[in-house]
Amino acid sequence: EVVRYRHRSEVTKCEMGFAVFLPPGCNSLAKAPALYWLSGLTCDDTNFIFKAGAQRQLAKEGLAVVCPDTSPRGCNLPGETEKWDFGAGAGFYLNATTPGYKDHYRMFDYVTEELPQLVQQHLPIASDRRSIFGHSMGGLGALNLFLKKPGFYKSVSAFAPICHPVACPWGRKAFTGYLGPDENKWKEWDPSLLLKNLPPTKMPKILISQGLSDQFLKDGQLQPEALPVHPNITLEMHEGYDHSYYFIATFVDEHVAFHAANLKK
C-alpha cells in the first residue's frame, strides 16, 4: 500500500508532503521497521515510489519506506525558486542559518524529529528500528543524518551521493546560501570529513553504489574518492550506469537487503 500525505509542519512552518509504502501484514500489533529514502535535486516525495521499483523487495523483507519531500515549498524567500539546485527542491537536508532560510529550511530537524514522530504516531511503523538511504543530494543527506544522529538509524547506504560538498559546485552554492560564507561551518555537513574524523575502530558499515557513466561524477560533483578507505565502507563502481533511476532500480534490491539485515538484528 502506498499513500501520500500532507501536513502542516511546525519545523518548516509550511505545508509538507511525504509518501509511505507499508508492507502487507503490518498493523498496530506487528509494526514494520522503516527505511527513510531521501531524494535528490528537483525531486519530491514521489520519485522513489514511482521509479525505483523497490516495493516487491520491501514487501518480501517486511519493510516500510518513508519518502519526505526534498525541501520546504512556497515560503516566498529571495532566490527560492530561481535555480534548480538551490531552494525549492534542493533543501540539502540541513538546518539553514541564513536570514529567511533559517526560519523554514530545517530539513535535518524535519526528517530526524518531526517526520518520524508523525509516522510513528499515525501509522504501524516501529519506533526503534529505522534505517536511511538516498540518491545524490539525498545520498549526502542520508550519510549526514546517519553520522550526525548516532544510534538513531541502524544502517545507511547511498546511490551516487555528493560525498564532498565543501569542494563541489553544488555544495558550495547551497552551503553559501543556507549556511553563509564561513566555510568552517560547512564542514559540519560534509560526510567525507565527518567520516575522516572518526577513529578507524568506530567506522560504520556503509554501502555506496556509483555509476561510472554518471555525468555528475565526471563533472566533479560527487567525488567518492574523498571518502576514507576502510573495510567497512563498500564503494561499488558500476560500469555503464549513469545518474538516473534506471541505475537505482537495478541495484535497489541489494540496498534493501543490506538494510533488512541490519534492521532485523
- The catalytic residue positions are 136, 214, 243
CB 36 within 8 A of CB 66: yes
Instruction: Return the C-alpha cell found at 219.
Output: 563533472
